[in-house]
């Protein structure tokens, strides 16, 4: 089986002695080289940043999925999944908030309090 050849780019990183010690310890525990660890870290962080950028642009209505896929190099389903994850999280927070308000409304016998909260969430 042939291995794909990937072109490499050299990047120099200057670390303080303390930063180097911390990195060396971590790499020793993970049984990896500093170069391999930093390369993987840079790639993973860059992908997260690209995904955050794409989500932000989409939610602000500045670009479509296809435009963002082209700009970031990410595929459309990845961007859509992240937006769904964020929107789902927001929905759960709102549901938890309304549940707490409903409980307080019942305890204080103040149904208007819950109605006001529902109205505020809708706006």
Residue 76's pLDDT band (cuts 50, 70, 90): very high
Residue 105's pLDDT band (cuts 50, 70, 90): confident
Domain ranges of the chain: 12-64, 75-123
In the structure encoding, which two tokens stand for residue 90, read together?
A: 């927001």
What residues have CB less than 8 Å from 63, skipping those under 6 apart? 54, 57, 71
- Compute φ and ψ for 83, nearest 5 degrees: -65, -40
Q: Which tens digit of pLDDT belongs to each residue from 26-39?
A: 999 999 999 999 99
């Amino acid at each position: 089986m042939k291995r794909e050849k990937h072109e490499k780019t050299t990047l120099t990183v200057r670390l303080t002695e303390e930063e180097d010690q911390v990195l060396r310890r971590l790499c020793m525990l993970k049984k990896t080289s500093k170069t391999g660890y930093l390369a993987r870290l840079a790639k993973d962080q860059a992908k997260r940043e690209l995904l955050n950028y794409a989500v932000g642009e989409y939610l602000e209505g500045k670009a479509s999925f296809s435009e963002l896929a082209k700009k970031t190099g990410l595929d459309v389903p990845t961007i859509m999944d992240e937006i769904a994850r964020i929107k789902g999280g927001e929905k759960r927070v709102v549901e938890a908030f309304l549940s707490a308000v409903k409980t307080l409304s019942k305890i204080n016998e103040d149904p208007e309090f819950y109605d006001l909260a529902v109205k505020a969430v809708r706006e």
